[in-house]
Structure 1
Amino acid sequence: MTRTQGSEAKSARGGRASKEFHDQLVALLPKLRVQALALTRNRAAAEDLVQDAVANALAAQDSFTPGTNFAAWMHRILRNRFISTLRKQRETTDIEDLPMSAFAVGAAHEDRMVLKELSRALGRLPSDQREALFMVVLQGLSYEEVAQATGCAVGTAKSRVFRARRQLQTWLAGEERSERQLPRSERIEAVLIGELRAGV
């Protein structure tokens, strides 16, 4: 093989890798939007966050190792971008003053009140718990993938999801008791897995 042929083969492999990278990125966009919405609680801010994360990923494309977990790599970029944005905003505004948006959902009349309460309760969760819950329930990620994407231990990811679910059950049952005192509620779990997934 001549030097020219070797160069052409390398260029062809690079083109295939670039196309595969872009295909994976496009396929992951819906899940990135869900994660961004979980972090920002604002649809416009979530869209901006996804665009910034995609721009960062494209700029850092050469640093991605083909064959490794692309979704975890992208989720980490998005999360880091979110943290960076928060740090910049902290200089001009208090994080607690950031706007919250309601989840726009089309539900039957009898379900609207439950979904409204669910939206309010999700907004009250700490952001790390809300993010982990969204990644597991809506995106179907494993605890290992959540841990890798958020930079925590697998046990911490499991704990965040467990605590988020129990706290939501407490609030949605109209109780302010600690999560340890609340019995399991199949109706609330069905709302979390069914109605929330349909609504976002």
Structure 2
Amino acid sequence: MEDLEGVLGLPFILPVNPPREEEEEGGGGPGGDGMPPGLLPSHKGSVVMFLDRGYGVDDQATFYRLLDDAFLPDLRAATTLDMAAASESDMALALNRYLCTSVLPLLLKHSHFFRESEHMSVLLETMLQTCYRLSKCRTLTKGQQEMTSDFLVAFTQELRLPLMTNLLRKLTVDVPALSEHAVVPLRVLTHHYERSGSYYGTG
């Protein structure tokens, strides 16, 4: 288990710029497929599957250790690439696949660990903001956006209401814009008020 966590905690080498035209014709970087050298998202995806099926995540301490040391940095890497010139690189697309087919389903499966976690409020706030930024990535497919939406709904349902304050400010700006990215904030906001409407309606 320690070795698996160690592998998942290794950082990816992120492309700074999109491949040049001649590199694309020749197959990209050192791997010949436009991917950077070293550990790839598909490698970590296999490790996540083995960890889940072979060991499981049986306690909250392990869950938060994985979140802090491995999964949150990878989520940040995906949002970083989306803001850079390499947003449509092979690495960015592979990161999206890894996060939405391996990481978020695992976190969704164990979302009950987010309950009663006031001692982890800083980490939870960071995770919430990062996942919301991920949901707005331009290169997400429809299925990946739905997975991100499912996770955010499950995640926010377990959080104490004060932790939602900063996200709610963003949601109330993004929802009225009615852009192509309004589906996720609208769903999260709807589920939040269905769960907590009475909290806001009492004086």
Q: Given the two structures, how large is their TM-score scaled by the length of structure 1? A: 0.32
Of the two, which has the highest radius of gyration? 1
